[in-house]
Chains A and B, each alone.
Chain A
Amino acid sequence: MFKRNRTPRPWSPGLLVLFLLTAVPLVAGLGYALLYSLGLVGLLREGFTLQHWGAVLGSMVFWKSLTFSIYLATASMALAIMLALQLVLRWRDTWQSGWLSYGIYLPLTFPAMVVAFLVFQWFTGAGWFARLAYHVGLLQDVDQFPAMVNDPWGLGILLAHAAMATPFFAIFFGQLYAAEGLANYAQLAASLGASERQVRRRILIPVLLRRASPTLILYFVFVLGSYEIPLLLGSQSPQMISVLAIRKLQRFNLQDIPQAYVICLVYAALVLVVTPMLLRRFRMKAHE
């Protein structure tokens, strides 16, 4: 139990458990991946080599995949943030009262796999919305429905992620709106002659985005590394980074395994270096 006046020392048992269950698996996993990618361990060990790193970093497939992942994370986040801001700043009364104040939490009960399945069901050529369009006379054939699933632009992935993120951000922005007392600022600005548009653009949106920035960055990283949704809704090329890495890992060609580890390591380096920098920068801004 908790001992009298005990302040955990730099290495208390609790911290040791955290170290063993978090740092050790992390270092072991990334260390193994590094050694495998350098040809030092694994089925294909051939002594130190940089050929797998060269193969990945010199391949357009990898860079396309990374760009595609960043594009989808940015686009789906932008769409979700815009919709959530709209919900909070314009239509708050519509969903923050009555049963909808509980109902807005319902989309959060859907796992990514089910969201992907639903988007797949609704937006394929023979999907539910294509059927609806057929019945209202907007299309005569399955092929006329715009490709939104397994398409090269990742529209289905974008839609699925935006659908998952919008209610989450709406709830989050709504709580920030109340916690920061933004209604008072808005009222003050309005009484000083600011128009509704000015209040939204100059006060409410900047404050909400600034305060929410750490969460937005973490969510961006979550979307960047997402797996289930692009696995079900993505095309063969380009693939999101997680899908590319796992497909390389599971291929019959053993030469692809070290490349899968290189992709994991590059991604790990990217998020472990860039995310703290961004968080530090935005956290400072959030508290300005």
Chain B
Amino acid sequence: MNKETGSIWGKPGQWLVGALLLFPFGYLILLSWGQNWHFPDILPAVWTTANWASLVGGDTGLGRSLVLSLGLSTGVALVATGLSFWVARAVAYSPHRERWLWLAYSPYLLAPVLLAACWQYFFLVINSSGRISGVFLAQLLIAFPFGVILFTSFWTPRVRAMEHLVYTLGGNSRQVWQRVVWPLARTPLLVGFFQTYLLSWFEYGLTSLIGVSKVQTLTVRVFQYVTEANSYLAGVASLLLVLPPVLLLWVNKRIIFR
């Protein structure tokens, strides 16, 4: 079946797939360094550092959006990971595990943006609409159930048996955490942190609705630049959006491929 699994293309095939995978990055790099890129030019007519310079200076607000997105996603990921890890234990060992898991899936089935539409009133009531705190809470309500889904598979009967073993041997709950749970959970926690971070980092609909476009994260900026026909700054913002996940992928590589 060797032929079926297909080295039919060999090296040229690998180069082609590789080029397809890298093309979007290359295109965004061209956009971010270009100006005056009009039809029918294949490459920008002018090369400039001005687009990237706007990150630290100028009134584009791109730098602020970067810092805001980094802070927001880190905060959401930290709280969602910690909380969902603890809650997932209760779900995993619950006699109604399937029902609770189904509840955790519900925000994703309903589409976060439609949920945000239904939540708008409540965020107005608690005076969080258009504020970072509101967007933080809204993103947490989406990232937290995701963490629960992710971590429920960590709390297996094996982990539970190991916990019980430590207790049987005279250990206390602190030792259970230090000697059993933490060594086993380090990697899943890291993966969970990355996943919830990306969930918040990529989020647009819910953020724009609860933030009423005042909380300008990078995704909100990309949409704003596209509608303003400023493709070059949209290119910079897009690259900024893509780079952290690529970095996380690189860091995460060993964990993913284990």
Residues of A within 8 A of B (CB): 1-5, 7-8, 10, 12-15, 17-19, 21-23, 25-26, 28-30, 32-33, 42, 89-95, 98-114, 117-118, 120-122, 126, 128, 130-132, 134-135, 142, 183, 186-187, 190, 196, 199-200, 218, 221-222, 224-228, 231-232, 242, 245-246, 249, 260-261, 264, 267-268, 271-272, 275-276
Contacts and interface: CB of A to CB of B under 8 A. Distances in A.
Given A225-B114, A276-B102, A4 B17 contact: no
Contacts of A271: 109-110
Contacts of A264: 114, 117-118
A228 B204 contact: yes
Contacts of A26: 106-107, 110, 115
B204 A112 contact: yes
Contacts, number: 259
Interface residues of B, number: 89
Contacts of B4: 89-90, 186, 196, 199-200
Given A94-B14, A102-B253, A232-B226, A22 B107 contact: yes
Q: Label chain B's interface by main secondary structure.
A: helix
B163 A2 contact: yes
Chain A to chain B: the 3 pairs with minimum beta-carbon distance, closest first: A225-B111, A14-B90, A29-B118
A227 B103 contact: no
Contact of B223 (A2, A108, A228): A228
A117 B238 contact: yes
A267 B223 contact: no
Contact of B27 (A91, A118, A232): A118
Contacts of B181: 2
A232 B201 contact: no
Interface string B94-113: 11100010111111111101
Contacts of B234: 117
16 contacts: A2-B89, A4-B172, A5-B164, A8-B94, A12-B90, A12-B94, A15-B94, A25-B119, A28-B122, A95-B17, A98-B14, A109-B246, A110-B245, A111-B202, A117-B226, A226-B111
